[in-house]
Amino acid sequence: MENIIVDARGHQCPVPVVMTIKALEGVKGPCTVETHVDNETAVQNVTRLAGSRGFPVTSEKLAADHFVIYMQAPQPASGPSGEPRAEEIVCAPDRRGSTVVAVTTDSMGHGNEELGKTLMKGFLYALSQLEELPKTILFYNGGAKLTTEGSLSLEDLRSMEAQGVKILTCGTCLNFYGLTEKLAVGEVTNMYSIVETLAGADKIIKP
């Protein structure tokens, strides 16, 4: 399958969206388009473009100023006239709100642990589908297991991170569980930052 790379770093909206549309116009068959951008809002807008065309899309943060959106185009994807559809070239406002989510365990609620783990995976998936994403998600104590290798929630968390959600995991907790080297998404944080984040939040959700 053809793989097209669009480097839109250094460009502000709507240029990354327009560059991606132009790349899609040139394809002859199924292909993967990788769009590289340098800000979270561009990730959201290019992701929205993929959604408007019904293409599977994922995204990840490679560095503080480097994000990549992968979309799979099953067929040549230009509009009927070959021109980009006007509604696709939009600069929507940032999807992030000011809510902080505190994940304190890898199991949601009390009772059966296996059920709790299933519920927590469902919670993080549903969180990633919100129209207004949280500003920050904090993971501490058992919650630290969700941001490390082997977690089934990594895809949801990486997608939210690429759209600008801060994913912060307690370093003390990673150390305690022997997971320091296994962090797979977001950054390590400490108790001062955790307290500041919680204290500065407009609203805190604790699943």
Query: Which residues in this chain contact another protein in the complex, by CB under 8 A?
Result: 47-48, 50-52, 54-57, 95, 114-115, 118, 121-122, 125-126, 129-131, 152
Amino acid at 193: S
Least gap, CB of 57 to another protein (angstroms): 6
Least gap, CB of 172 to another protein (angstroms): 30
C-beta closer to another protein: residue 38 or 88: 88
C-beta closer to another protein: residue 75 or 81: 75
Radius of gyration of the CA atoms of the chain, in A: 18
Q: Which residues are bridge partners to 196 per DSSP?
A: none
Of 159, 25, 28, nearest to 17 by C-alpha is 25
C-beta closer to another protein: residue 5 or 115: 115
Q: Give the distance from CA 24 to its chain's centroid.
A: 22
- Inter-residue contact 42 to 70 (CB < 8 Å): no
C-beta closer to another protein: residue 26 or 56: 56
DSSP state letter for 88:
G
Least gap, CB of 17 to another protein (angstroms): 13
